[in-house]
Structures are given as C-alpha cells and as structure tokens.
Amino acid sequence: MGDSLGKIFTITSFGESHGNCVGIIIDGCPAGLPITTEDIQEEVDKRRPGAGVAATARVEEDKVEILSGIFNGRTTGAPVCLLIRNKDVDSSEYKKMRFRPRPGHADYTAFIKYGGFNDFRGGGRFSGRITASFVMAGAVAKKLLSLIGIEVLAHTVAIGYIRARFKVLNEIRENVKNNLLKCADPIATEEMTRLIEQAKEAGDSVGGIIESIALNVPVGLGEPVFDTLEGDLAKALFAIPAVKGVEFGSGSRATEKKGSENNDPFTIKDGKIVTLTNNAGGILGGISNGMPIVVRVAVKPTPSIAKSQETVDMKKMRSASLVIKGRHDACIVPRAVPVVESMVAVTLCDFAIRAGLIPRVIK
Amino acid sequence: MGDSLGKIFTITSFGESHGNCVGIIIDGCPAGLPITTEDIQEEVDKRRPGAGVAATARVEEDKVEILSGIFNGRTTGAPVCLLIRNKDVDSSEYKKMRFRPRPGHADYTAFIKYGGFNDFRGGGRFSGRITASFVMAGAVAKKLLSLIGIEVLAHTVAIGYIRARFKVLNEIRENVKNNLLKCADPIATEEMTRLIEQAKEAGDSVGGIIESIALNVPVGLGEPVFDTLEGDLAKALFAIPAVKGVEFGSGSRATEKKGSENNDPFTIKDGKIVTLTNNAGGILGGISNGMPIVVRVAVKPTPSIAKSQETVDMKKMRSASLVIKGRHDACIVPRAVPVVESMVAVTLCDFAIRAGLIPRVIK
Amino acid sequence: MGDSLGKIFTITSFGESHGNCVGIIIDGCPAGLPITTEDIQEEVDKRRPGAGVAATARVEEDKVEILSGIFNGRTTGAPVCLLIRNKDVDSSEYKKMRFRPRPGHADYTAFIKYGGFNDFRGGGRFSGRITASFVMAGAVAKKLLSLIGIEVLAHTVAIGYIRARFKVLNEIRENVKNNLLKCADPIATEEMTRLIEQAKEAGDSVGGIIESIALNVPVGLGEPVFDTLEGDLAKALFAIPAVKGVEFGSGSRATEKKGSENNDPFTIKDGKIVTLTNNAGGILGGISNGMPIVVRVAVKPTPSIAKSQETVDMKKMRSASLVIKGRHDACIVPRAVPVVESMVAVTLCDFAIRAGLIPRVIK
Amino acid sequence: MGDSLGKIFTITSFGESHGNCVGIIIDGCPAGLPITTEDIQEEVDKRRPGAGVAATARVEEDKVEILSGIFNGRTTGAPVCLLIRNKDVDSSEYKKMRFRPRPGHADYTAFIKYGGFNDFRGGGRFSGRITASFVMAGAVAKKLLSLIGIEVLAHTVAIGYIRARFKVLNEIRENVKNNLLKCADPIATEEMTRLIEQAKEAGDSVGGIIESIALNVPVGLGEPVFDTLEGDLAKALFAIPAVKGVEFGSGSRATEKKGSENNDPFTIKDGKIVTLTNNAGGILGGISNGMPIVVRVAVKPTPSIAKSQETVDMKKMRSASLVIKGRHDACIVPRAVPVVESMVAVTLCDFAIRAGLIPRVIK
C-alpha cells in the first residue's frame, strides 16, 4: 500500500531495482493526448548517468515499453502502463551483505517492516532506480501541462556547500541542457565538479539542493485546507529517495525576515494582478497565485559510500563493519534533477485536471 | 474538496473564521478510547493566546463541544465530530477591504479560485483559526498514540534570527510548559521576546522555526513509495497557514555534509538496533527506524502587519494601499507550536492504525 | 472509517439516532450555488413521517441548520456542514434490551465490531434516522444537477407482493407528490395501504421496491472499470438501511431474456443517437448512454416488529425472547423514497463534477 | 481514472482486449505470502473457455507472468504486478464496424466519453477479457483469506429461466468442479445446456444468475455507513461486464415477505451466537454477522449475438444494420463464475486487512 499518488491523475508505481522491471501506471490520463515511446524515452534519458563525475557504474539502456493505454499514438483514456526492463543487474554483493544494513539506506527499516521478505537486491523498492518510473509519468504530465502553457524546469542550485549564483530563466533553460551537473552556473559547476571528485577519491559522497520552477501556472491550483499545493508537492517530492527537506519561495530564509520584507506586494502589470516579489514561491493559502511556483529540495549525500562503515549483523545481533562494493554515485543530485521536475509536473497535472483546466478529452 | 486527511484515521475539517464555528470530524477512530471534553479542551487551550508579546487581540473562549461519536466517555467507533463556536467576531474591517487583498494572505487566490464567493471575513477558511480544529483532532490522536507509548512534543527553536540552543528532552518537556514562546531555552526566549516587541512596535512581524519530536515510534511506520512518513508528515504540516518549509533530521544541513558524516551508523544498545546519531530524523526510506522522529517547520512572518502596504483594488483593477486594522499577532510561532504537535500526532496515528499497531477496539 | 462517499463531491456522515444530532459534510461542492436552509428543509420534510399507515411514532421537527460553507445565500467552495438536532428521544427501552440484539438489526454486529462501545440507543449509527443526513446532501446535489438539466425522481413500485402498474413520467411526477406511499399508481396504493394495515395489526411489517429514474443524464458519466455508474450507485444505495438488492434496467428479468430481446437497438431521433428500448437502464459498460438511468432497490420488511421474537442474551449467552416496544413503522418504504432519490443524486453529482460537466464555480 | 479498487488491499487494472496484455497491480498485499505463478495460473485457467456449449472461439493460452512484488516464492510487501499477454488477436472485424456500435455493448458510450480515442478493438477496456486480471487478483486474495479460514465459492444458479435446485455446500464444492456450466445441479445442467444450444443455433444468447458464498467470515467485516459490506461487494461485482443486478440473502424475495418471516432469529449453537435462518445473507447493518455471506448477481444475456441487429453509423449519423462476426459466446455465465468468486474474495480481503484480521506480515 502507499504506491499510488494523485486523486484524478493517479500514478501507481511498481517494480524493483534488481527484479524484472520498474514501471508505472497512469490512471486518469485524458484521452487523445498524442504521445510516443520516443517522447517518454527522451525524458527517461535525462535521468540516465551521463559522462563526468556524476556518472554511475550501472549502465542500463532503460528502454521504455508501452504496455497499455496508448493506441494509434494517442492516449485512449484507459490506464497507461509504462515499463522499463532491468538488464544490467548484479545482485551478488547484496546477497552477501543481506543482514548488514547499509547506514542511511532503507535496508534496516524495510527488513523489519516486511519481516525480511522484501526484495533486498539493489535496495529493491527503495532504490533510486524506482524514480525512472516517476520520470515516465512526468513525461506524460509535462505533455499535458504544455497544452495549457505550463512549463516545469529544474536545476541544481547547490552541491555540498557550493551554491550556484542566481540565473534568469533563459540561462537556466539553456545552460542546464548540456551541463553534466544540471547547473545553470558554469563557474559554480567547476567548483562543484571538484567537490564531487574529492568526495569520490575519498570514498565519500556529497549532497545538494535542487530547485524546480513551474511557469505560467494559472491562479487557483490547490485544494486547501489539506490538499494544498505546497503539501501535495512536498509529499510527491519526499517520495524521491534522499530528499530530506522541501521549501517554497523564500522558504527557511523567510523565518529571518520581517513581515514587511517577506510579504509580496500586489500590483497590476499588463492588466493582470501580479506580485512585485515572489517570496511566496507562487503559492498563497495553498493555492497558486499566478507567479512562478518555486520549490527547493534538500538532497542528502548519497548514503552508498566506499568507506568502511559501522553497522550491525541483524541475524547475529552484533556489531559489524561494512564496505559497500558494487556501484555508487558520489553525488546523485544531477540525476535527481529530472525526477524533481517530474514529480512537480505530475502533481501540477493532477491539480490542473481537478480544477477542470485540462479537459478529459484532448482534441 | 481537499478537506480530508488520512487514510484510515481520517480527519475532515470544516468551518470559517467568522462563521458559526470551526470543527473537525475524525473518522476511523478506534472504539473504546476514553476521552472527555476536558481532555480536548486542555489541548485547545494551549493554542489560545497567552499573555505576553505573542498574545492576540482576538479573545475567544474556544469551548469544545462534542457533537457525535463519544458515548459514556468513550469513543464508539462512529465519526467523532468536535466543534468550537465562534463568538468574538468583528467582520467590519474585512468588509471594507474586501477587494483589496492583503499581501501574503490567501485573499487574492481564494477570491479567484472561488469566484468571489468565498467567505472572506477574517480570512474565512484560510484563517489560523481553522487550526483550532486541527488541535482537537490532535488531542484524540495523542491519546491514541499514548496507548502504544508514543509521545509527541513540539517547541520553538527560532524566532527571526534568534536560535534556541540545544536542549535535552527533559528540558524541552519542562521548559516549554510555562514559556510564553514555547521555547525550551530561557535565555534565547528573552532575546526572542525583544525581537517580537521591536517588530510589534514597528508595526511589523517575525517568523520562526518549530521543531517537533516524536518519541518511542516503533520501526515500520510509513508506506513507501508515495505514502512515506516524511511525505505525509510534510503534507499535514503544510496545511498550517504560514508554513513554507519542512525538513527532517539534519535536513538542509545534510546537503553540506559528506555521506560519511550524515549516515547514521547502526549499533546495538540494550539488545536493540539503534543508530549512533540521528541525522535521518528517525526515518529511513520513508519508514520510521525506531529513533526519535525529528521534523522542523519554517514559519514565515505573520503577513498581517500594521504597516501600510501596497496592493490592488481587484474591482477597479488599480493600485491601492492597505492598512490592516483589526487584530494581528506580531509573531504566531508560539501559537503554532501545539498545531505542529497535533498534525504530527494525527499523521503518526493514521500510520500506526494502518500498520495494525493500534487496535480497532481499545479495551 | 467508511463514513465518506464520493471522490470529488464527497459527503461525510456523522451523528447518531439518540445522540445530539445527525449531520453531513459536503466537501467539493462548487462555489456560488444559491441554496438556502429552506431548500434543504423542503427535501428533508419529504422524509418525515406523513399521515396514514406509513407514519412513524417518532415525531421530530427535523430542523435543518447550516454550520458552515454557505455565506450570503451561496456556497463558498468550503465544506458545507449541515445539521439536524435530535429532540424527540426516548432511549429507555433500548437500555433495557441492550444485550438482546433485535433480529434483522445491526445490534449484534455493531456490538461485536465496536466491542460494545457503540451507541446502541435507537440503533445509533445504524438507525434509519441517519438517512436524514443523506437527504440534506441530496438537496444540494439535486440543485447542482438541475443546473445541467438532470432531474432525479423516485417512487414506490411495490409494497410486499403488490406491484404498481407502469406509469409514464408525468404521472410519476404528479401522483407521487401527494401520495402517502409515494406510489404513482392510485389503485395499487389502496391495496398497498391495506397490506400495510394488515401487517401493522398483526404486529408485523412489509417491505417493497423503490425505483429511481434520472433524466437528461448526458452520455459519459461513470469511470470504468471499477468506478462504474452501476457500481457507485449501488454502493451509495446499499448505505440505506434495509436495502438488500439493487438492479438496473431490466435487471434480474434480463437473465430470462434472449440477447436479441435484451439488447437495446440504436437509432437516431431528432439528430441524436438513442436506443429504442431501455433494458440497459441508461448504462452501457458502466457509462451513462443518454437514456434515463433506471435503478430499483429491494427494501426488506422493517425488522422492528411488535411480535415477540427469538433472540439471545449476549451477556448471559443464552436464548431469550424479545418484544420490541418503542417506535416502529410497519413499512418504511415510502420514507425511504426521498433517500433513494438523494443517494442517486449525490452519486450522479460526483460523476458530473468528475467529468467536468458541473464547473467548480457557479456563476 | 476509476481503475483502482479497495482501500488497503488495492487492485489497479490495466490492459485491453486486443492490446499487448491485460494486467493487475495488487498494492497493500501483506509480505510473506507464499504464492507461485502456478497458484495464480490455476485460478486463471478456471476462467478459460472449456469444452461444451459455453466455449468461446477465442483460444488464449492466458499465461500468467509475475512482473514484480514476489521474490523467492513469497510476496515482498511491494506492489504485485501480474500480466497476461494477448496472443490470439484478430481485430479486423472491429475495424470494419468501428462506427457501428454493437447494441448492449460499451462501443457507443466509450466512443463518446473518450472522444473516439478509445481502443475499440475487441471492446478494448470493456471486454470480458479484462476480467482475467480480476481473477489473478482473486487468486492472491483467496490465498490470503485461506490463512484465516475464509473460503469463497461461486456457482451458476440459473441460465435463462432454468433454475438450479438447492444444493448443500459439499455438493456445490464437488459438483461445480467438473461441470461445464459450473452448476451444482446436474439435472438442471442438462436443461441449461439445451437452452444454450438452442440460443446458439438461433444466433442468440442467454444470461443467468451466479451465486457466491463466503464461509467462515468472522463477525465484524464492513465499515458502515458508506463502506458497507453489501455496498463494496456490489461495487466490485458491477465491474464485471454484463452484471445488472446484485442482491444479498433473501434479496428481492425479501420484499414479499413479512418482517417476522425475513428476520433471522438469533440462537446459541456450540457456544456461539448464530442465526437460525440466513435471510440477511450474512450481513446486518453492512457488517458480517458470522453466517455465510450469500450474494447473487444477475448476468444479462451476452450482447454479442450472430443475429442481424439495428444500430447506427456514428459517422454518417444514420441507421445501419449490424451483423457481428468474429467470436461470441452464447452464454458467458459459466466463465463469469470464477470472476464473481474473485471479486468477492478481493473485497473480503480488503475488509479483513482493514479490520486487522490479516496481519501485514505473514509468518
């Protein structure tokens, strides 16, 4: 239980890291949306390890398969089932260390919760690999959102203590494309790269911060008091492994500001009501206010490190040390960027359909 | 829509700031729980404005009424409906400024979303007053959690840029009780008080940070991949007006740490598996790991300030200035502390019932 | 748990037969709907016991109170909470026979399920009185449906073995209004009346069949494969105490027909596709087909009878006899007619909003 | 939307009749349940066309594939994804008659609802083939229910106007196994067979009635007032194509009985409270009462018939005649028997888990 998200545009995730596949079902997708395997593949490829420091040792082709819900190049209104087969799987290391939970991972909690029956290979359901299925759903959501002019971006704004400097939207759009760290600031990228390299050499890892921006979101998305735009975005984003914080607009910095500084004054621009600043991150009272939605997620440093760590043997109930062999990324932040983008898109899409902004049939 | 929260232990909020009442329905509450009006009143009273700088001008008796679901002093298994009547209501100011949305408030977004039909008086559904109903639900949830030994605390850890120094659990438990700012650090409290006074004098406001800690949470709460403990706690917490950020454990500070620093090594203590540190905030892979759950929320400075602000006249579609008369708190953080505690309790309670830890009938 | 119904237009029921009140929350009601206490009262009054054989001994004023969600005569988009206070309450008999479950009632199952903590007075949550709250929700739903031309009717088609003869729509509309049994056939009404009188005299009771017809339902309501129109209507109707069967169109008679007799041929009439017959009851593949929705519910004879019955003493675990004093109707079918109408309206309303046919703001 | 069913034990259906596959995801399945492809295959095979009159022309191997959620022969607690590939597909006829909706089928409603984008081949989502996925879910549910002693049966009780005579449980269990019509009465079976043969020869079809019985269901399943056992069973059963009526216990016959005849007197047997009769079909107040659950569904005659039928051309908007070639069964009742059994099992399983009767981890 707990593997579905969204009220009308509902995604259901399934699959494991080292099982047959990872997949997603999208229920409630309007009929008539033109979408091809290639459209989805393109988004999934953004999540694949590129070259450079943030590359992973596991190389999967990640080929998207459409199982249902798309016919003659368009969605049919029926559940869309999308699949990626697992191929480059080596579970030998996981079997060896099965009873030695990796610090910072779900090994221990999953073992207890599921009575030891969970598929532990490669982290099973708790692997970052599951997020490939989120990206497939995001591809469909982004296509739907584009119909009403909504654009969702995401970029790396910090790796470790290195912060990217502020960039305007066009710089973000352009610079992120070919940046291996998905960062809009080329100078910070160099420093970030060094930091990752150092961590890697030390058998260690670093985290970072990803920012997502949604543009042209009309006023009115969000269903308070509980289904707020912030709340549902946060819930969706916390499904991404390693995310430990979510904030909107001025976020935690708002706590150090005065009300007079943090309030966004209203004004009229081109006949429309806008705010002069966007400390609210585009959300007031849990409802979009027409300004860009701005959300930042804190990604903890990858828990898989090469350094020896202290753990326990759950079977023998005694202390043990652990050296994780196999694959690990010194920094997963860049690969998480399209995942953050996808979860924002999926959530906005559900709200847009709930608000009646995206019709049930696309003509 | 969007006014219900929780899958099995489900709360449904209703009521408005200046309407007849604010209320809550708790569906899925196990039968047999001994609970009285007094139990609930006691929690609600914690949210009432106290003396001191954080006091509000609106003085409500906030008398709890049980409408259904409790019989002979025990829950019956039927929906529990709890009510607080509104009494000290003065809507005159709101009527005057109806078309001038207050910056930082939901006036504008609600006006557009609900086509101008929303009850704007006192902020209507978007008033902090709605959280009185959250506290009523929290009172019931805390009683249920106490049956399995879970304790939920909350305290102020920052007001503006003033941070409380670290305190151990017993200090938090003891100090918060009689502290007007619900802060465990008496020295910081003095500085915080000065900061609030200064803001008040300047017709301005300040925000802050609230931390909640849940103790004795067994391993296994949370239903990944989407119904993670972090995700559902965050969603519940973002329902509190003015919350703009939520983080767990080392949270955003984790982003500047190395993996080897942020990972919590496992060890065995008193025959149980524990972690040596708690950077994870008690949650691994979206599932509780037996360590204290630690969550912090960023509360923006109260948007209601006495200073003149820029806004627009939505009817005449032109710029306008706004001076908010009526009531406003220079700092709502202390009053939000029991609300944060309640939302954490409500969420944990739902997960505990889903996990089968709290039985359907309390004997 | 289990006290909410509907996905977007969601009703949550609360209250007990002999507690403070029965009430309903309607969440997801579009903003701007003009509705008054009187509108709702009018519907609730239809459920009140009239004169004649189907009258009940309990005489409640059943005065509707609006607690939230309606402001200046229109819905605000916030949850609408509606309440009826209980007044004419006499629980003495129920206390006496508390451990002797009435055959055909929920006394036994509720006692076991809720560990004896359920409010047993007057049947508590299982009383027909709860349906007064359904009718309040139905009043709102019917107003919303009327905006898109949908009309929902219901009438008694059988009492015991007496069947009403076929009547055309206008006869149903007209005749039911002033018919004490809500039956469109005046001649059958006489026989039905006699049957009820005989049952009453014998300290016994009779059941019957209610038919509901929804007109002008556009093609496309229903969300198969699971949220079919039949399935969700049936679920809603089985919430009415004493309903033990639900069928659509030719229903169980279809089982004795040939495919060639039961299929409804399509044709074109006034430029629209219609069917020549309506054995499908307006639903094909779980989706409305534009023809009238026709659903019939089987209502068992009222389990409360004056005759002495065999039961057990749950405390002493031995056989016991039971004579139910207090109030009981020899036939509740007529009073259930507006309830059936309401549940059909509530369900259609949810689907119409899901399909985007009723906007989120009524202008 | 609408393709998920169940609150904790949640099934999500996907796939089409002539697409790649039909499949089901079971979320919320407890971990540790031993289950193999063979276990599921065995149930699916019951739904395959056998020999005899009820055989279908489409012969599919219907090979079950496990995509996720089962590891080392046991469920892992993760979503279980089960798949059957479509192989014996011939869509040529469907393409020809695309704009001529088959009477009694969902062709017309789906065409309008999904704007013509629905996969019409073989009825797409509305094909009886989708129920193969229900049976896969049923196989898992039945295994779980067997752990707490619950057994679910189903059998044919009528074909057309031919009714099977009453049989005791053991006869039902034994006789149904090798009966081509899944009927416990061998004599009625002969007459039913003749009726089907006659219909087939006439290019026509017949319907029937299926009864399902669930044994050893403990007292307390069901969550009134809306999530009643009757309501949720009915909703699940109406998802089966061709089901037009659902009734419990004495059902529609109850409407002709007196209260004194229909009430089931309580008594004590072997130290347990039972009822002397079972007119309630094992359900009182929407909650199981410990007696066998008895539910009957009315199955309309298969709409696909060989006879020429009247329909319309939706493109040219004029009358048209239709002769359905391709495959059709003269009676689908026998093949629907395991589907009914499955939907009852799936629903009971969800309630049993909600009630805490089946643990989250099977040891």
Q: Is B8 on the interface with D (CB under 8 A)?
A: yes
Q: Which residues of chain A does B250 touch, with a Cβ-Cβ cutoff of 8 Å?
A: 244, 300
**pLDDT tens across A252-295, in order?**
999 999 999 999 999 999 999 999 999 999 999 999 999 999 99
CB within 8 Å: B117 and C8: no
N-to-C CA span, chain D: 35
What pLDDT band is residue A26 in, cutting at 50, 70 and 90? very high
C333 token code pair = 């079918």
Question: Is C51 a residue whose pLDDT tops 60?
Answer: no
Q: Is D219 on the interface with B (CB under 8 A)?
A: no
What pLDDT band is residue C61 in, cutting at 50, 70 and 90? confident
Q: Could you tell me which chain A residue has the CA closest to the CA of C28?
A: A223
D75 Cβ contact list (under 8 Å, min separation 6): A117, D29, D30, D31, D32, D33, D35, D69, D140, D362
Cis peptide before A44 (omega within 30 of 0): no
- Assess contact for A47 and D100: CB atoms under 8 A: no
A166 token code pair = 């502020």
**Residue B199, CA distances (Å) to B241, B329, C62, C277 in order:** 20, 10, 52, 75
Strand D70-71 relative to strand D74-75, pairing: antiparallel
Note the ipTM here: 0.97
**Which site among A7, A11, A117, A361 would you substitute to test the D interface, given the most D Cβ atoms closer than 10 Å to its Cβ?**
A117
Which of B112, B254, B305 is closest, CB to CB, to A244?
B254
**Residue D261: CB atoms within 10 Å:** 13
Cα angle B49, B54, B55 (rounded to 5 degrees) comes to: 40
**What's the one-letter identity of residue B65?**
E
**pLDDT tens across A182-213, in order?**
999 999 999 999 999 999 999 999 999 999 99
CB within 8 Å: A286 and B206: no
- Assess contact for B82 and B67: CB atoms under 8 A: yes
**Which site among D81, D360, D361, D363 would you substitute to test the B interface, given the most B Cβ atoms closer than 10 Å to its Cβ?**
D360
> What average pLDDT does range D17-44 have in this prediction?
97
- Assess contact for D128 and D43: CB atoms under 8 A: no
Buried b (16+ CB within 10 A) or exposed e, D53-67: bbbbebebebebebb
**pLDDT tens across A106-145, in order?**
999 999 999 999 999 999 999 999 999 999 999 999 999 9
> What average pLDDT does range C20-32 have in this prediction?
98
Question: Is C54 a residue whose pLDDT tops 60?
Answer: no
For residue A27, the distance in angstroms to the closest alpha carbon of chain C comes to 11
**pLDDT tens across D121-156, in order?**
999 999 999 999 999 999 999 999 999 999 999 999
Cα C75 to Cα C72: distance, rounded to the nearest angstrom: 8
Q: Is A358 on the interface with B (CB under 8 A)?
A: no
Q: Which residues of chain C does D137 touch, with a Cβ-Cβ cutoff of 8 Å?
A: none
Greater confidence, A356 or C54?
A356
> What average pLDDT does range C314-323 have in this prediction?
95
Task: Tell me the three state secondary structure of residue A361.
Answer: strand
Q: Is D31 on the interface with A (CB under 8 A)?
A: yes
**Which site among B353, B360, B361 would you substitute to test the D interface, given the most D Cβ atoms closer than 10 Å to its Cβ?**
B360
Give me the pLDDT at residue D50, please: 65
C177 Cβ contact list (under 8 Å, min separation 6): none
Which of B3, B77, B79 is closest, CB to CB, to C79?
B3
What pLDDT band is residue A88 in, cutting at 50, 70 and 90? confident
C198 token code pair = 């005989």
Chains with ≥3 CB–CB distances under 8 Å to B: A, C, D
> What average pLDDT does range D299-327 have in this prediction?
92
> What average pLDDT does range C298-317 have in this prediction?
96
Give me the pLDDT at residue C289, please: 98
Q: Is A317 on the interface with B (CB under 8 A)?
A: yes
Give me the pLDDT at residue C55, please: 57
Cα C250 to Cα D131: distance, rounded to the nearest angstrom: 23
Q: Could you tell me which chain C residue has the CA closest to the CA of A354?
A: C354
Q: Is A31 on the interface with C (CB under 8 A)?
A: no
Of the CA atoms within 13 Å of residue B266, those in its CB half-sphere come to 27
Of the listed ranges C38-42, C272-276, D59-63, the one predicted with least confidence: D59-63
Give me the pLDDT at residue B59, please: 66
Indicate the pTM of the whole model: 0.97
**What's the one-letter identity of residue C205?**
S
What pLDDT band is residue C59 in, cutting at 50, 70 and 90? low
Question: Is D353 a residue whose pLDDT tops 60?
Answer: yes
CB within 8 Å: A360 and C360: no
**Average of per-residue pLDDT values in chain C:** 95
Q: Which residues of chain D does B8 touch, with a Cβ-Cβ cutoff of 8 Å?
A: 7-8, 354
DSSP symbol at B227: B
Tell me which residue of B274, B277, B335, B246 sits closest to B47, measured CA to CA.
B335
CB within 8 Å: A359 and C360: no
**pLDDT tens across A311-339, in order?**
999 999 999 999 988 667 899 999 999 99
> Which of 99-138 (A) contact D at CB < 8 A?
110, 113-115, 117-119, 124-125
Q: Is C95 on the interface with B (CB under 8 A)?
A: no
Query: From the CA atom positions of chain A, what is the Rg in Å?
Result: 21
Sign, Cα dihedral of D139, D142, D146, D151: negative
**Chain B to chain C Cβ contacts (< 8 Å):** 165
**What's the one-letter identity of residue C104?**
G
- Assess contact for C205 and C304: CB atoms under 8 A: yes
> What average pLDDT does range A1-26 have in this prediction?
97
Which of B21, B119, B361 is closest, CB to CB, to C115?
B361
In chain C, the percentage of residues whose pLDDT exceeds 70 is: 97
> What average pLDDT does range D99-107 have in this prediction?
97
Give me the pLDDT at residue A1, please: 85
Residue tagged 């087909």 (tokens): C289
CB within 8 Å: B10 and C4: yes
CB within 8 Å: B21 and C67: yes
> What average pLDDT does range C200-209 have in this prediction?
96
Chains with ≥3 CB–CB distances under 8 Å to C: A, B, D
Q: Which helix (H) or strand (E) holds B82?
A: strand B80-85
- Assess contact for A29 and A77: CB atoms under 8 A: yes
B143 token code pair = 């009683």
pLDDT tens-place values along chain B, 363 residues long: 899 999 999 999 999 999 999 999 999 999 999 999 999 999 999 988 765 665 555 667 899 999 999 999 999 999 999 999 998 778 888 888 899 999 999 999 999 999 999 999 999 999 999 999 999 999 999 999 999 999 999 999 999 999 999 999 999 999 999 899 999 999 999 999 999 999 999 999 999 999 999 999 999 999 999 999 999 999 999 999 999 999 999 999 999 999 999 999 999 999 999 999 999 999 999 999 999 999 999 999 999 999 999 999 999 999 999 998 866 789 999 999 999 999 999 999 999 999 999 999 998
Give me the pLDDT at residue A96, please: 83
C310 token code pair = 């065999």
